[in-house]
Structure 1
């Protein structure tokens, strides 16, 4: 069975890049373009990994992370963000995310971090 990854990202170019690389690596991906859609999908389906941006329409990435940690605590989370603010990054780690990747990112680095995160679970 393929590992299922939920990608929550509102930038279509980033989504295409993530979907292409992760599918090529053998993962099944589901995409949500905003936090509200992601919450709905998380309540209906099971995933092995969540990759989310922090700056999302309707429901923020931080709110999404809080929901996951309170309701699906075993689901690992990788945050993708353009934010280089230490406070934002620390908030994400304090909420329990497994990894933080700053955009723009290397597809190979992403692949490595996804594989490493999934091996830990």
Structure 2
């Protein structure tokens, strides 16, 4: 299973990547929204995890892009910080499947990913 992680905070990105690789997933990391949009097209991941606030393209643009791919139903989990409820709401309107608030537990994130992948 391939997971694309779009996160501009390198510490969060690295921590999530290590945990997911340990769980047996193939992980594709992106440092900004533009790179994520290119990689989604290129790799067609099984699930996408994206931060809402990133350089070049926002998490909302990534959600919209993933949900426009009709050939494959790809779940999207968004990361948000406290106080971004309006953005999270917009992400759900665009088709996001779940969200986690930063800081988050890696165990909880892994459980949420596995739950999305089972659907």
Q: Does TM-score exceed 0.5, indicating one fold?
A: yes
Structure 2 distance, partners of 1:86, 1:7, is 21
Partner of 2:62: 64
Partner of 2:46: 48
Partner deviation per Cα, 1:6-42 (whole Å, 9 max, x = no partner): 0000000001110011111111100011011111111
TM superposition score normalised by structure 1:
0.92
Partner of 2:110: 111
Runs in 1 of length 4+ with deviation above 6 angstroms? Answer: none
Partner of 1:36: 34
TM superposition score normalised by structure 2:
0.93
* Backbone CA RMSD of aligned residues: 1.2
1:75 paired to 2:70: no
SS of alignment partner, residue 10 of structure 1: coil
SS of alignment partner, residue 6 of structure 1: strand
Q: Which runs of 5+ in 1 are unaligned?
A: none
Partner of 2:24: 26
Q: Which runs of 5+ in 2 are unaligned?
A: none
Partner of 2:86: 87
SS of alignment partner, residue 49 of structure 2: strand
Partner deviation per Cα, 1:65-102 (whole Å, 9 max, x = no partner): 11111125611000012143321121111111110000
Comparing 69-78 with 52-61, greater Cα deviation is found at 69-78
